[in-house]
């Protein structure tokens, strides 16, 4: 049996692998999936958190920006209202004559060498400066006096309004009245052209057609008061612009307010003027925007003081986009990198002066909590993975140890079963199953024990049977052998000494012991048997130990496939010397019988021929005498001589025919004949004899039946059957003749109502000279008729069948081979 290639694995490894594949791996997969799901959920939660925070921050920032902007708007609106009041009062003062100018007031003005009309000392009012750009003759002292009435108002405006640090009036002809008092001569250029400054022209009709208060750009106060802005409003007399009133507003408070704004997520606010210059920037903002330290120091108000470009969002490259966005929309939101990380920015415009409040939050801070939380979850996830790894390590070790214990507890019983099987293999069939803990293994062990028992019984039965066969072989004298053609060796299993090991013999040795006449044939038969694998048999002679030739018969067959590279022939050899002796004796006896038969035939034929000549003479003379003798007694004797000679003649004819048939020297002369006609002729010939014996002849033949055969011999057989049917009949009996058919044969059936034939004698009636005890009866006969008829029928390829009942008649059927159509079909 061809074994399939199987990879072997130890039970322990198999068990461990099974555990690993079917429990640990799925568990591991599930756990890994859970961890992945956990981490994915964390990531999702984090991203939703961040989105939520982002949205919240956006809303909060925008809200904060708007709220703070609103506060600033309210403050600035208050200032504007006061400025309007101041403007109205100034216009009124300019129009109202001032007749009673206090002496102290009058004494406080002087004109210096440059042509500047100025106040001399601080007498609790405002400082006054008439620029030399207006010639002295045009400088209006009256206007100066009229305006001096505004001093208390200007004072109260500055003192009551924390934002207002200076209140002033500038006239179209470069007169300046300003509170609080300072030494204008040292601060101003003598030819100061006031209308050329923005705090003047911004309120002129060209720039401010609506005559509303106008805010200037912010600037750093050259006098060291920090960030400043001015709000100015025109003072008209009719459509004539008399001048501009204004407040200088310190940004300090606003900036403080803005710097103090506490935004969530450590955010901050900053203020942009309408030129996108950053006015109030807290420290973190300065870091974010990388701002230099703000320029300080006093400067003459000879030029507009501006901040470095770094403070202007428009002029910086990194914030140009933001500046455009802010300029485009009064309220908005944006994300951009700033100071090395992403920032969220929201802004709201202050409509009064076009400032913008910008709120900034660092995304890292905003998302710090969410990121921290996610980080913590990630740590938990990593801890879980580490825990899982540790758990599986321990679990692996546990399962490994378990598999080891399990395999030990299984391999013990399995080993016991293997021991049982080994014992059975060694012939110890009566093994007992040891008690085992597992039911299935116990059943298995019991089964092995039962199998061993059954095997033992079978082996015993086989041995007994083998003993019987061996004894039978020994008794039969047969020898069993095997032959290997490849090395031309025989292995002979001796029969006589049972238990003796087989004897090895080469083909050459064996052939040498065989009769020289048989050797060639032996080899031929062997070669043929090997080629065809058919069973073969051979009789040959071998010299026995006594030196006599004995006859052996070998029957053998190739019992491997024809193309097997190691062919083997198994055979049995029988001593057939006795059979050969009997066969030879039989042959001798048969030869002798044949010789005797030949001698008998020769004798019969020569005697018949010898008898025939005198018989013809007797027959001829007696027939002549029949005609010549008139004496009735003599005629009766002559008639008897004629009848006897005819009978004898017939006998001789039959004998000669029998001899010829035995010698196979008779040949047929077939022609086309009509069988019905042949039968009719026979009936006609036998009619006188039937009448003489008072037997009714009856024919059931009709029509014609063509047949190709020897008509004379057919007639001869039929006449013999009819003659017997009449001879062995009873007076008043009948004979019926008909044609009958069966598959491939046509038969003449001759049925009589005669004496019949005993059952046990029907076979004998066809033997020559057998008359069944009628030899001495009155019925003439020689016992040769049926023998000749049978031989003739067989010569024609047919046979004779007989059925009879003693005392009630016989039926003889003469069958001939038939290939034509049936008579009734033909006729």
As measured in angstroms, the least distance from the Cβ of 482 to ligand ADP is 60
For residue 310 the two structure tokens come to: 């770094």
In contact, 233 and 203? CB cutoff 8 Å: yes
Residue 553 pairs in a beta bridge with 539, 574
Cβ proximity to ligand ADP: between 705 and 787 the closer is 787
The Cα–Cα gap between 282 and 270 comes to: 7
In contact, 277 and 312? CB cutoff 8 Å: yes
Cβ proximity to ligand ADP: between 192 and 765 the closer is 765
In the sheet with 569-575, reading across from the earlier edge strand, the strands are 503-506, 489-493, 479-484, 569-575, 549-558, 536-543
Cβ proximity to ligand ADP: between 183 and 770 the closer is 770
As measured in angstroms, the least distance from the Cβ of 809 to ligand ADP is 8
In the sheet with 734-742, reading across from the earlier edge strand, the strands are 696-699, 734-742, 745-752, 809-817, 799-805
As measured in angstroms, the least distance from the Cβ of 619 to ligand ADP is 19
As measured in angstroms, the least distance from the Cβ of 697 to ligand ADP is 14
For residue 616 the two structure tokens come to: 């013809």
Query: Which residue is nearest to ligand ADP, using beta carbons?
Result: 781
As measured in angstroms, the least distance from the Cβ of 729 to ligand ADP is 7
Q: Where are the alpha helices (DSSP H) in 430-486?
A: 439-476
Residues lying near ligand ADP in the complex (CB under 6 A) = 724-725, 728, 752, 754-757, 765, 770-772, 774, 781-787, 810
Tell me how far CA of residue 312 lies from CA of 69, 132, 275, in angstroms.
19, 37, 7
Cβ proximity to ligand ADP: between 73 and 735 the closer is 735
Cβ proximity to ligand ADP: between 473 and 765 the closer is 765
The Cα–Cα gap between 350 and 274 comes to: 9
Tell me how far CA of residue 298 lies from CA of 200, 220, 226, 301, in angstroms.
22, 9, 10, 9
The Cα–Cα gap between 360 and 60 comes to: 11
Cβ proximity to ligand ADP: between 746 and 757 the closer is 757
Residues 6+ apart with CB under 8 A from 66: 331, 348, 357
In contact, 810 and 757? CB cutoff 8 Å: yes
As measured in angstroms, the least distance from the Cβ of 807 to ligand ADP is 10
As measured in angstroms, the least distance from the Cβ of 666 to ligand ADP is 18
As measured in angstroms, the least distance from the Cβ of 740 to ligand ADP is 17
Report the sign of the C-alpha dihedral through residues 285, 290, 293, 299, in that order.
negative
- 211-245 burial code (b ≥16 CB/10 A, e <16): bebbbbbbbbbbbeeebbbbbbbbbeeeeebbbbb
Q: What are the φ and ψ backbone dihedral angles of 762, each rounded to 5 degrees?
A: -60, -30
As measured in angstroms, the least distance from the Cβ of 613 to ligand ADP is 24
As measured in angstroms, the least distance from the Cβ of 562 to ligand ADP is 59
The Cα–Cα gap between 706 and 823 comes to: 8
Cβ proximity to ligand ADP: between 398 and 769 the closer is 769
Quickly list DSSP for 285-315. HHHHHTPPPPP-----TTS-----GGGBTTT
Cβ proximity to ligand ADP: between 425 and 600 the closer is 600
Cβ proximity to ligand ADP: between 230 and 724 the closer is 724
As measured in angstroms, the least distance from the Cβ of 733 to ligand ADP is 10
Per DSSP, the chain holds a count of helices (H) and strands (E) of 21, 27
Cβ proximity to ligand ADP: between 529 and 781 the closer is 781
In contact, 649 and 779? CB cutoff 8 Å: no
Cβ proximity to ligand ADP: between 39 and 648 the closer is 648
As measured in angstroms, the least distance from the Cβ of 772 to ligand ADP is 4
**3-state class (DSSP) for residue 692:** helix
State the virtual CA torsion across 463, 465, 469, 472 in degrees, nearest 10: 110
As measured in angstroms, the least distance from the Cβ of 734 to ligand ADP is 12
Cβ proximity to ligand ADP: between 348 and 765 the closer is 765
In contact, 377 and 360? CB cutoff 8 Å: no
Cβ proximity to ligand ADP: between 423 and 772 the closer is 772
């Amino acid at each position: 049996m061809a074994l399939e290639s199987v990879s072997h694995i130890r039970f322990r490894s198999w068990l461990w692998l099974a555990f690993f594949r079917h429990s640990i791996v799925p568990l591991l997969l599930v756990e890994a999936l859970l961890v992945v799901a956990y981490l994915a959920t964390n990531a999702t939660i984090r991203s939703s958190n961040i989105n939520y925070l982002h949205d919240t921050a956006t809303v909060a920032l925008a809200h904060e920006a708007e709220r703070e902007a609103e506060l600033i708007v309210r403050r600035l609106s208050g200032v504007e209202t006061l400025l309007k009041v101041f403007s109205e009062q100034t216009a009124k003062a300019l129009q109202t004559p001032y007749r009673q100018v206090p002496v102290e007031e009058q004494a406080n003005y002087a004109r210096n060498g440059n042509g500047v009309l100025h106040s001399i000392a601080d007498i609790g009012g405002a400082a006054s400066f008439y620029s030399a750009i207006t010639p002295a003759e045009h400088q209006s002292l009256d206007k100066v006096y009229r305006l001096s009435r505004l001093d208390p108002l200007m004072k109260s405006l500055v003192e009551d309004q924390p934002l207002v640090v200076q209140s002033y009036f500038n006239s179209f002809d470069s007169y300046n009245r300003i509170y609080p008092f300072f030494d204008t001569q040292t601060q101003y250029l003598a030819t100061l052209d006031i209308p050329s400054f923005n705090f003047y022209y911004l309120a002129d009709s060209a720039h401010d057609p609506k005559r509303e208060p106008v805010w200037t750009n912010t600037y750093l106060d050259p006098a060291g008061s920090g960030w400043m802005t001015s709000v100015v409003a025109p003072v008209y007399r009719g459509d004539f612009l008399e001048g501009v009133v204004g407040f200088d507003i310190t940004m300090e408070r606003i900036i403080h307010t803005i710097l103090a704004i506490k935004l969530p997520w450590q955010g901050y606010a900053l203020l942009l003027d309408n030129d996108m210059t950053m006015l109030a920037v807290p420290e973190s903002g300065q870091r974010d925007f990388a701002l230099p330290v703000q320029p300080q120091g006093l400067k003459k108000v000879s030029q507009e003081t501006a901040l470095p470009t770094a403070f202007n969002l428009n002029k910086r490259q990194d914030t140009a986009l933001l500046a455009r966005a802010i300029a485009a929309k009064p309220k908005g939101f944006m994300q951009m990198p700033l100071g090395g990380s992403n920032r969220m920015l929201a802004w709201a415009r202050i409509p009064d002066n076009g400032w913008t409040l910008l709120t900034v939050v660092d995304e890292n801070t905003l998302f710090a909590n969410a990121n921290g939380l996610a980080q913590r979850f990630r740590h938990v996830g990593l801890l879980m993975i580490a825990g899982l790894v540790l758990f599986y390590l321990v679990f692996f070790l546990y399962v490994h140890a378990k598999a080891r214990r399990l395999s030990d507890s299984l391999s013990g019983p399995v080993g016991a079963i293997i021991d049982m099987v080994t014992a059975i293999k060694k012939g110890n069939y009566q093994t007992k199953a040891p008690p085992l803990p597992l039911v299935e293994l116990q059943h298995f062990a019991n089964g092995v024990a039962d199998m061993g028992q059954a095997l033992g019984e079978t082996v015993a039965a086989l041995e007994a049977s083998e003993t019987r066969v061996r004894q039978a072989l020994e008794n039969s004298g047969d020898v069993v052998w095997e032959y290997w053609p490849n090395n031309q060796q025989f292995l002979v299993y001796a029969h006589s000494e049972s238990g003796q090991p087989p004897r090895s013999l080469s083909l050459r040795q064996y052939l040498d012991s065989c009769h020289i006449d048989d050797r060639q044939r032996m080899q031929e038969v062997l070669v043929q048997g090997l080629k065809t694998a058919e069973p073969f048999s051979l009789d040959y002679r071998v010299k026995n130990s006594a030196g006599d030739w004995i006859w052996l018969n070998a029957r053998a067959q190739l019992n491997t496939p024809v193309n097997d590279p190691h062919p083997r022939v198994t055979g049995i050899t029988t001593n057939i010397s006795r059979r050969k002796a009997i066969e030879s004796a039989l042959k001798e006896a048969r030869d002798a019988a044949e010789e005797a038969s030949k001698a008998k035939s020769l004798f019969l034929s020569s005697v018949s021929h010898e008898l025939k000549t005198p018989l013809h003479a007797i027959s001829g003379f007696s027939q002549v005498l029949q005609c010549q003798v008139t004496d009735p007694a003599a005629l009766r004797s002559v008639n008897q001589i004629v009848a006897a000679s005819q009978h004898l003649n017939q006998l001789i004819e039959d004998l000669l025919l029998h001899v010829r048939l035995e010698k196979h020297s008779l040949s047929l002369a077939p022609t086309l004949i009509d069988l019905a006609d042949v039968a009719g002729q026979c009936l006609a010939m036998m009619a006188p004899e039937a009448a003489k014996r008072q037997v009714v002849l009856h024919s059931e033949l009709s029509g014609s039946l063509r047949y190709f055969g020897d008509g004379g011999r057919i007639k001869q057989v039929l006449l013999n059957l009819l003659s017997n049917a009449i001879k062995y009949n009873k007076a008043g009996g009948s004979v019926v003749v008909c044609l009958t058919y069966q598959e491939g044969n046509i038969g003449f059936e001759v049925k009589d109502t005669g004496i019949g034939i005993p059952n046990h004698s029907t076979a004998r009636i066809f033997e020559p000279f057998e008359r069944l005890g009628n030899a001495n009866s009155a019925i003439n006969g020689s016992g040769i008729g049926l023998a000749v008829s049978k031989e003739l029928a067989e010569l024609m390829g047919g046979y004779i069948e007989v059925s009879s009942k003693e005392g009630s008649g016989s039926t003889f059927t003469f069958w001939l081979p038939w290939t034509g159509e049936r008579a009734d079909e033909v006729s």
